[in-house]
Amino acid sequence: MSKIDIKVEEKYEGTKIREYLKYDHNLSSRFIKNASCDGRIKVNSKVVKMNYILRSGDMIEIELNKDEEQDIEPQNIPLDIIYEDSDILVVNKPPYMVVHPTKSHLNGTLANGLLYHFKSNGENCIVRLVSRLDMNTSGLIIIAKNQFSHMALSRDMQKEDFKKYYLAVTHGVLKDKNGTIDLPIYRPGEGSIKRIVDDRGQRSITHYKTLKSFKAGELLELELETGRTHQIRVHLSHIGHPIYGDSLYGVEGDEKLIERQALHAYKLEFPHPRTGENMVMQCELPEDIKSLIEKL
């Protein structure tokens, strides 16, 4: 479905279409403005201005597709697609893959592969990332396939029914097997990649639960209540249980066991941007983390 169809109920008669779409259908002002300027909002099959006064029974049609381009080279890169429909795509990103092109990684990124996938299927989509992962973190990423779904998902990420779960293998044995880490995270300098726990930072909340214990570590399930850069890695390192293989926040010598941080975004729960249906996506641990657990 490349459009949204809405029949105006009697109680909304006399309302301006701009206010109706914004407050009764939770569409952002930016989305409404862009769609209106492109002539993609119609009432009873005719393009209207946003001061149009609605009448009972009016049929509003919002076209979602628009001509868009992105300065990214499409590349035939295999993708592990967990779910896809006309609005969203959920992919299981492998470790060592950069999500979006940078000066040092112009090719071979997830975005390069996604653009090839869209073009191969005849879809006029650009890559709209709803969530991101570090290069060496594996797992689920949501991509919006149109401006509407990106707007809705970005809005809903702040709500309680949008949940992100991770699995991590950590050093040491935690005294409390379940708990919450509520510590502010701060970036000490503009040129710094590393984050620290510091009172000057933003409030950051990570919930954790122990799934398995080993002599030299544990397998944790973690749920993010906030989404700060490196949040899980910073929090676990700060409490003395860094993630195995974490070269930035961990300990030396882990490369003999695993070559990257043992962190995997394994589960997502979120409302579908169009239907509101609760979507639950899940993927297995990658082989390198499974191998690490066997070694431990």
Whether 76 is covered by a domain: the verdict is: no
Residue 255: other Cβ atoms inside 10 A: 11
| Residue 287: domain span | 163-295
- Domain shared by 274 and 169, yes or no: yes
85 pLDDT exceeds 70? yes
Whether 215 is covered by a domain: the verdict is: yes
- Domain shared by 177 and 148, yes or no: no
Report how many domains make up the chain: 3
Check 5, 24, 67, 134 and give the catalytic one: 134
- Domain shared by 194 and 241, yes or no: yes
Identify the pLDDT of residue 140.
Answer: 98
Q: How many CA atoms lie less than 13 Å away from 138 in the CB half-sphere?
A: 23
224 pLDDT exceeds 70? yes
Q: Assign 1 a pLDDT band (cuts: 50, 70, 90).
A: low
Identify the pLDDT of residue 34.
Answer: 85
Mean pLDDT over residues 259-275, rounded?
Answer: 95
The span from the CA of 65 to the CA of 81, in Å, is 22
- Domain shared by 169 and 141, yes or no: no
The domain that holds 269 is classified in CATH as: 3.30.2350.10
- Domain shared by 143 and 170, yes or no: no
Task: Give the strand pairing for 178-182 and 128-129.
Answer: unpaired
Across 12-16, 181-185, 252-256, the highest mean pLDDT is recorded for: 181-185
134 assigned to active site: yes
Summarised one tens digit per residue, pLDDT across range 118-166 is 999 999 889 999 988 999 999 999 999 998 999 999 888 888 889 999 9
Summarised one tens digit per residue, pLDDT across range 188-221 is 887 788 999 999 999 999 999 999 999 999 999 9
Identify the pLDDT of residue 17.
Answer: 93
Identify the pLDDT of residue 124.
Answer: 85
Percentage of the chain beyond pLDDT 70 is 99
Max Cα–Cα distance, the chain, nearest Å: 70
- Domain shared by 280 and 172, yes or no: yes
